[in-house]
Structure 1
Amino acid sequence: MNGHINGSANGTTEETIDVAIIGAGISGLNAAYRVQSKLSEYTYKIFEARDNIGGTWDLFRYPGIRSDSDFYTFGFEWNTWPKDNPIVPGEDIKEYLQQSIEKEGIDRHIAFHHRLTALEWSSESMRWTLTLETKDQTRHVQARYVIVGTGYYDYHEPMNAEISGLGNFQGTVIHPQFWPEELDYTNKKVAIIGSGATAITLVPNMASTAAHTTMIQRSPTYVYPLSNPTRRWFGWFIPSLIRSQLSRLIFIFLQRFSYALCRAYPKQARSILIWRMRSLLGGVLPVDPHFSPKYNPWDQRVCFAPNGDFFTALRSGKADVKTGHIRTVTEKSIILDNGDVVEADIIITATGLKISVASGVPIKVDGEKISIPEKFLWNGSMLQDVPNFAIMIGYTTASWTLGADATALLFTRIVRYMERRNAVVAVPRLEDPSVLTTRNITDLNSTYLAVAQKHMPKTAEEYPWRPRTSYYVDIWQAMFGRIDRGIEYIPASAK
């Protein structure tokens, strides 16, 4: 369909396409595949601010960075992860993404060093105008549809945690989001502040080289060792390709089943997880207070340790855990409120990530600025009163990509539905928001997610404004559910 370029005298390049995809991370790349396979006659382009694909997996460079969900479900449905390790190192993820897009020709549709700075919809032209900054010019691109696949992390600024006395420290202070390549922690005393997935990853990967590694946590986390049951059950007689596809189905089921079980029987789930952690600790640390969270499983994310590597590091004596609030930081140590003192040469503040929806880019519809936190999310995929616009919001209690793929499939189905109705605009509408019972977009209460709620779109108990909760429900809705409720389709004749 549309796909032409017009040069202009002021150095600004004008281009018109059908679908503009923002971000060349896993969500954006997956959306590109769905567009080119289901809307093959539509032109599309991916605009990426960085110089490489991967998004999170290109940004984060800390030791041992890896997926925090199994990669059979975190990877692409159309190119399933072929190996037997469910938790995958960052470098392998980047290689997998590159191989996947080259196989499908998606790499030819990516414009690197294109940072989106503004999005504006015109009802007169029925198109979006994207303002993009490159190294040497400002570009304006017009598109009929926009898909935002930038994830939900702020790439430029982490979540700041107030740590008393941190300015006194004379050693090196690092946030994992901006890991310096030249950092040498050999034979150094390392203190990692935090207890989330990043901290659980850093401990075993730094402990083998550092003099000693201490994880300092305000409160404990559930940590569970993860292996591949498909390999264990069927590996000896099922070919690799079929095994990876079977692994995907099994892990999708296990994610949902284990989550539902934990929510239905929280006391029993808590007892099982604590029993498992106690057995893996081997007596080197007491479960209470270090591994006995006050909250129930999946009130916050359960962290995974592939093959129990986190516990192996603790049993080796090269790493340990301290639990308590930080009273202050001195020139060479961290003092907790219980009197514990942790000496350190390096402090790593793995205290969470700052949330940013649509990368914080200003969005306007006919000159009126859209405030995302004031808008409701339609079917987990589109924003109230924002035309021809899809936003990738995945799961926080399962693999992110499953939810992003549901959005991509729903988007392509809506476009085909519009064709049959001779419509050119699709915009979610809500006549009276007061009739809805609002709820948080996620049930998790982790600190960084609790802080982020005020930046996220609204969701409700009522259909079609519910948040994502179940992949089975969402994928059915994307492929077969009603797409005529809470949404207005505007015909070309209205132009």
Structure 2
Amino acid sequence: MTAESASGVPDEDALFTDVLIIGAGLSGIGAAYRIKERNPGLSYAILERRSRIGGTWDLFRYPGIRSDSDIFTLSYPFEPWKRPEAIADGDHIREYLADTAHRHQIDRHITFDTRVRSADWDSRTDTWNVQAEQDGVAVTYSCRFLFFGTGYYNYDEGYRPAFPGEAEFEGRIVHPQFWPEDLDYKDKKVVVIGSGATAITLVPAMADSAASVTMLQRSPTYVFSLPRINKPANVIRKILPRKVSHAAIRYWNAILGWLIYWISRKAPGVMKKFLRNMAIRHLPEGYAVDTHFKPTYQPWDQRMCFVPEADLFEVIADNRATVVTDRIASFDSGGISLVSGEHLDADIIVTATGLQLQSLGGIAVSTDGADVKLGDRFVYKGHLLEDVPNLAWSVGYTNASWTLRSDMTAQSVAKLLAHMGENGYTHAYPHLGDEELAEKPSFDLQAGYVLRSPHALPKSGTRRPWNVRHNYVLDAIDHRFDRIEEAMVFGRVGETMTVEA
């Protein structure tokens, strides 16, 4: 891929690069490394709307923010995690990303405080024209290939249902996605609404200094306790060289995570009994486990919540936190009235009520001026979009660490760029054509944020290469033996050639 084409050149006023990456979080930093590793001759740039590296790990700053999967699989294969924790705090993850970007000189290619608004593919020049804003000033970028490392949820809005009577509440209502820096909850009565990973993280963290913390949930969530420090892993790290030990631990944890998921789906009764016994073991004798920790759905119908060292159970057992399973009747001046008639006194109410799904960071995408309706497009191999040239989107797993898939995506894109360069192609895209293909949702969860926005994401087919699987083992095998020309169209400016495997 080069900056010139046979029939035209990008806008002279545009800032041109071979590859433009949107987002400087886990996906964007990883993509930059993999693309440069395999294609050292290509230029690239990263546009980040925030002021720091980190993406999700810079956005979320609520108390206790941490990874909800083990850090060895969440970290990159090429950059070993050096700290002792297996479940890492958000600040340390962000530091790891910043250090990785600096070590590999990726930070030199990042432009911060840049919000991308739209991207239009120009088939006359085989380039993307990207419109962005920097401090309110419009800026145009141009590139041959566009990579979205924007995640899958809305950074501007969390899910925040309206509650009856909330205007009467005299305390403070906050959403974890926009945690106020000045929020003082010491010696305050706190109610956290929700039972997902965010609520389960917040409750133990706030219990250390709040007067009381109550987790109010409509229905329970499966909770799995893991060690904060993986002692066998740290022994291996002392014995083997850093890169070898990191690869071994990462692979082992990935397989272990896959086995937990496989058992949950194939033998849900076994997993439910195991998790129930885990809760009973850590909670006081006679605690109403079946009321507060026995969901009505099957394991992994929704994402399972992992807690380090059973910290949620510990604060409950120590009477520093309480779980209430009920429904909200209304807010009032002093807290929340429940359908059961109980009242929860509160000075602060935290609405840990979830996320909003969003494709491609909310950026408007078009080809030759025609809008691309993402909900009408199939996903190819988990990262390319049907009939959309030179564009990739990194989306992680719902049942495993984000990076397990995002790194495969980055490597696949790097391989595609190399193939295009070696053959002189200036565009490539997956094409389904007239083939009939049954569809299914891209996310295989019954979580609220998925069910609320069924058309927010592109479609998945039911057979490869259009099937979005949340199965790391099968994807890793496919990735190893990937046929790059399968169902792909390759071509040069002014001509098109279909290559079929």
Q: How would you bin the TM-score normalised by the shorter chain?
A: over 0.9
- Tell me which residue corresponds to 1:260: 262
Q: CA deviation at 1:165?
A: 2.1
| Residue type at the aligned position of 2:412 | L
- Once residues 230 and 215 of structure 2 are traced to their aligned partners in structure 1, the CA distance between those partners, rounded to angstroms, is 32
Q: Is the 8 A contact 2:185 2:209 kept in 1?
A: yes
Matched, 1:28 2:28: yes
**2:306 aligned partner:** 304
Identity %: 38
- Tell whether the 8 Å contact from 1:230 to 1:243 is kept in structure 2 after alignment: no
| Deviation readout 1:433-479 (Å, 9 max, x if unpaired) | 6x111111122101112113210000011211101322232233334
Query: Superposed, which structure 2 residues align to 1:71-90 within 5 Å?
Result: 71-90=71-90
Once the two structures are superposed, the pairs formed by residues 166-245 of structure 1 within 5 Å of their partners are: 166-227=166-227, 231-232=231-232, 235=235, 238-239=239-240, 241=242, 242-245=244-247
- Distance in 2 between residues matched to 1:229 and 1:436, nearest whole Å: 46
Question: Which residue matches 1:103?
Answer: 103
Find out whether 1:444 has 2:437 as its counterpart.
Answer: no
Count of aligned pairs between the two proteins: 487
* SS of corresponding position for 1:453: coil
**Greater Cα offset, 362-371 or 481-490:** 481-490
Q: 2:396 corresponds to which residue? A: 394
After superposition, the Cα gap between the structure-2 partners of 1:446 and 1:453, relative to the gap in structure 1 and judged at 3 Å, is same
The equivalent of 1:427 in structure 2 is: 429
**CA–CA distance in structure 1, aligned partners of residues 116 and 365 of structure 2:** 11
| Deviation of the 1:144 alpha carbon | 0.3
Asked if the contact 2:47/2:114 (under 8 Å) is kept, the reply is yes
Q: Which AA in structure 2 matches 1:227?
A: P
- 1:108 positional shift: 0.5
Tell me which residue corresponds to 1:9.
Answer: none
Q: 1:492 to 1:124 in 2, by over 3 A?
A: closer
Structure 1 stretch displaced more, 106-115 or 83-92: 83-92
How far off its partner does 1:273 sit? 0.6
Aligned counterpart, 2:316: 314
**Cα deviation, residue 18, structure 1:** 0.3
Q: How far apart are the structure 2 equivalents of 1:328 and 1:146?
A: 47
The match for 1:460 is: 461
- Paired with 1:168 and 1:228, the residues of 2 have a C-alpha distance of 41
- Distance in 2 separating the partners of 1:297 and 1:318: 28
Residue 71 of structure 1 contacts residue 86 of structure 1 at CA under 8 Å; is this kept in 2? yes
Letter matched to residue 357 of structure 2: I
Q: CA deviation at 1:403?
A: 1.1
Residue 489 of structure 1: aligned partner: 490
Could you say which residue in structure 1 is the equivalent of 2:371?
369
**1:8 corresponding residue in structure 2:** none
Distance (Å, rounded) in 1 between the aligned partners of 2:3 and 2:488: 28
Could you report, residue by residue, the CA deviation over 1:199-257 in whole angstroms, capped at 9, with x for unpaired residues?
00000000010000000000001111112685237727625724433321111011111
Aligned to 1:283: 285
Q: Distance in 2 between matches of 1:82 and 1:259?
A: 27
Cα distance in 2 for residues equivalent to 1:474 and 1:124:
35
Counterpart pick for 1:384 among 366, 383, 386? 386
> Using a 3 Å threshold, how does the CA distance of structure 1 residues 105 and 388 change in structure 2: closer, same or farther?
same
Where 1:455 maps in the other structure, the secondary structure is coil
Instruction: Give the structure-2-normalised TM-score.
Output: 0.94
- Residues 228 and 142 of structure 1: is their aligned pair in 2 closer, same or farther, counting only changes over 3 Å? same
Residue 414 of structure 1 pairs with residue 416 of structure 2: yes
My pick for the range that moved more, 257-266 or 276-285, is: 276-285
Partner of 2:357 in structure 1?
Answer: 355
The aligned residue for residue 335 of structure 1 is 337
Distance, in Å, in 2 between the alignment partners of 1:485 and 1:452 is 31
Q: Which residue of 2 aligns with 1:246?
A: 248
Quote the offset at 1:431 in angstroms: 1.4
Q: Which amino acid aligns with 1:259?
A: Y
Unaligned residue ranges in structure 2 (runs of 5+): 5-11, 497-501
Cα distance in 2 for residues equivalent to 1:56 and 1:421: 37
DSSP-derived class of the 1:423 partner: coil
Instruction: Indicate if the aligned counterparts of 2:121 and 2:129 stay in contact, CA closer than 8 A.
Output: yes
Does the aligned pair in 1 maintain the 2:228–2:308 contact within 8 Å?
A: no
Matches within 5 A, 1:49-64: 49-64=49-64
Q: Distance in 1 between matches of 2:417 and 2:474?
A: 21
Within 1, Cα distance between the matches of 2:233 and 2:415? 37
Q: Secondary structure of 1:452's match?
A: coil
Counterparts of 1:54 and 1:405, CA distance in 2: 16
State whether residues 439 and 459 of structure 2, in contact with CA within 8 Å, keep that contact through their aligned partners in structure 1. yes
Q: Is the 8 A contact 2:191 2:213 kept in 1?
A: yes
Look up the SS of the partner of 1:128 in the other structure: strand
- 1:327 CA displacement: 1.2
**How high is the TM-score relative to the length of structure 1?**
0.95
2:14 match: secondary structure:
strand
Structure 1 residue runs of 5 or longer lacking an equivalent are 5-11
Name the structure 2 match of 1:43. Answer: 43
Aligned AA (1:489): F
Q: Could you tell me how far 1:84 is from its partner in structure 2?
A: 2.6
8 Å contact kept, 1:3–1:15: no
Residue 108 of structure 1 aligns to which amino acid in structure 2? R
Bigger shift: residues 313-322 or 83-92: 83-92
- 2 CA distance for matches of 1:42 and 1:333? 58
Distance across 2 between alignment mates of 1:349 and 1:207: 16
Give the 3-state SS of the residue equivalent to 2:97 in structure 1: helix
Partner in structure 2 of residue 404 of structure 1:
406
Which residue identity does 1:392 align to in structure 2? S
Partner of 2:66: 66
Question: In structure 2, what residue type is equivalent to 1:406?
Answer: M
> Matches of 1:51 and 1:3 in 2, distance apart?
29
Displacement after TM superposition at 1:312 (Å): 1.1
Distance 1:353 1:338, change over 3 A: same
* Equivalent-residue separation in structure 1 for 2:451 and 2:340 (angstroms): 27
- Root-mean-square deviation over aligned CA pairs: 1.8
> 1:3–1:43: 8 Å Cα contact kept in structure 2?
no
Report how far residue 387 of structure 1 moved. 0.3
Instruction: Kindly indicate whether residue 470 of structure 2 is the aligned counterpart of residue 469 of structure 1.
Output: yes
Aligned residue type for 2:261: Y
